Structure 1
Amino acid sequence: MPTERSEIAERNLRVLEALLFASSEPLSASQMATYLGEGANVTALLMTLQQRYAPRGVNLVRRADKWAFRTAEDLGFLLRREEQETRPLSRAALETLSIIAYHQPATRAEIEEVRGVATGKGTIDLLMEAGWVRMRGRRRTPGRPVTYGTTDGFLDHFGLESLGDLPGLDELKGSGLLSNRLPPSMQIPLPFEGALRDDEDPLDPDDLDGADEPEEEHE
């Protein structure tokens, strides 16, 4: 017969399952813990739920420090039609997104150094509107330029658990998204996905205006 402990664990698993299915965004363990009994090991419960869903049509996946149900990779072809209807990113946006992902925290000047062409406000705004890029802070250098980094939404959209799952730079260069002439500071993965680095200051209240950005380049 099931013990009281196993019954509580099963109830907690059902609660986690319900929360994850009902949420439109990935949830962190701390967000879900408030709905469980005192002393519940949320991480262990999520791992158990992940194992249970591993052979099913939807899988429980981790995105940074958050969790979500997503279509199993081998059934991704079922969503191909929906993906084809989505407007593809321009080459400028793809290059900019790639550089930010591998070089974050990156300033616009650093992005331009890698691309070899001016990167205007429109390209970065597009990536921010998609929820893949965010302003992180301001670099402690003359002019205090804004630094950019990727979001949890970026990881979720591209099926990555962390930045460590990004393809290697050689593979990225082979795809034609980046020039073979890369600065030596390019590295992967970088550990600054959330907190500010020592050379970054918090954003100013008026940073969302983006008034100091140049006009978009034409490509």
Structure 2
Amino acid sequence: MDDDERPEQADHDEPANSDDAGSDDAGRESNDELADEFAEDLDGLSMDDLGAAYARVAAEHDPEAFAQPEEAVPEDGISEADTVDEEQEESDEDEALVTPEAIVEAALFVGHPENKRFTEQRLASLMRDVSPEEIVLLIDQLNESYKEADQGLRIMRDEQGYRMSIAPEVEAVRRSFLGKVRETRLSQTAIEVLSLVAYQPGITAQKVQDQRGRESGPLLNQLVRRQLLRMERIKPPEGGRAIPHYHPTERFLVLFGLETLEDLPQVDEAVREP
């Protein structure tokens, strides 16, 4: 082949123009920023957002392009829309069977995903048109129904919220399955400290010491180790280091056959005053 007929070879060794390179870099940066923006927006999107966006685009453009084909009515005279309406009515009837009591009971039975107590506010948020005050009444009704039916379940409440548990009178059955709770022997001074915390949940070590008139830190630590008390560190309003506060535990309630701290024997308020 002659040199004149030979096709021209593209010169690939020519260096890229600096302006073109800068433009490419700017384009890549712009694309990266756009990708980041979409990634951030997609996190908050839902199917409802998608449907709303489609409807908005349809309204702003040619309506005929988005027109739905007319529904063909079958020979029996029952359209697909009529069938959907009937199914929706059946679905609404099924939802009506799910009562607020059933929702509260199911939530407490399954438990909090983070192993926390349920508060009245959290339970009320699971339903429409139900207040936290009504949740308290619903729980009272459920507990009454458990007692009347001789069921072994109870809904317990402490300072953190509500939980589903077994009734104290069937604790022996639980022990037969899980093994008997190890005997806990407490000295009289330990019982004294335990009683101060039980009647004044959230009390500090300093207040326990002031009321007893002697050092109580080692005894409080021992009761925490035996899981009869739990410690919660709270920072004072004026700032500074967090101060330990002590509360009775669920094990304390079980060992003493109590449903809540309100079942503690009544004592003179003067004795309980911190």
TM-score (norm 1): 0.54
Q: Within 5 Å, which residues of 2 pair with 1:159-198?
A: 159-162=258-261, 164-169=262-267, 186-187=271-272
Structure 2 counterparts to residues 1-219 of structure 1, below 5 A: 8=96, 10-23=98-111, 25-36=116-127, 38-40=128-130, 41-54=134-147, 55-64=150-159, 66-80=161-175, 84-86=180-182, 88=184, 90-91=186-187, 92-103=189-200, 106-120=203-217, 122-128=218-224, 130=227, 132-136=230-234, 138=236, 146=243, 148-150=245-247, 153=250, 157=254, 159-162=258-261, 164-169=262-267, 186-187=271-272
Q: Which amino acid aligns with 2:221?
A: D
How far residue 7 of structure 1 moved from its aligned partner, in angstroms, is 6.1
Partner secondary structure for residue 272 of structure 2? coil
Amino acid at match of 1:125: N
Distance 1:45 1:8, change over 3 A: farther
CA positional deviation for 1:56: 0.9
**CA–CA distance in structure 2, aligned partners of residues 52 and 6 of structure 1:** 23
Q: Is the CA contact 1:139–1:145 (under 8 Å) kept in the aligned structure 2?
A: no
Aligned to 1:27, the other structure's residue is in SS state coil
Task: Give SS of 2:138's match.
Answer: helix
Contact kept in structure 1, 2:201 and 2:248, CA below 8 Å: no
Q: Does the 8 A contact of 2:154 with 2:164 survive in 1?
A: yes
Larger RCO (alpha carbons 8 Å, 6+ apart): 1
Structure 1 unaligned regions, length at least 5: 171-183, 191-219
What do you get for the CA RMSD once the two structures are aligned? 4.2
- TM-score when normalising by structure 2: 0.45
Judged with a 3 Å threshold, the aligned counterparts in structure 2 of structure 1 residues 147 and 5 are, in CA distance, closer, same or farther, namely farther
Deviation at 1:20?
0.8
The number of residue pairs the alignment matches comes to 168
Unaligned 5+ residue runs, structure 2?
1-91
CA distance in 2, matches of 1:105, 1:62: 16
Q: Within 1, Cα distance between the matches of 2:183 and 2:172?
A: 18
Q: Cα–Cα, structure 1 residues 148 and 64, in superposed 2: closer, same or farther, change >3 Å?
A: closer
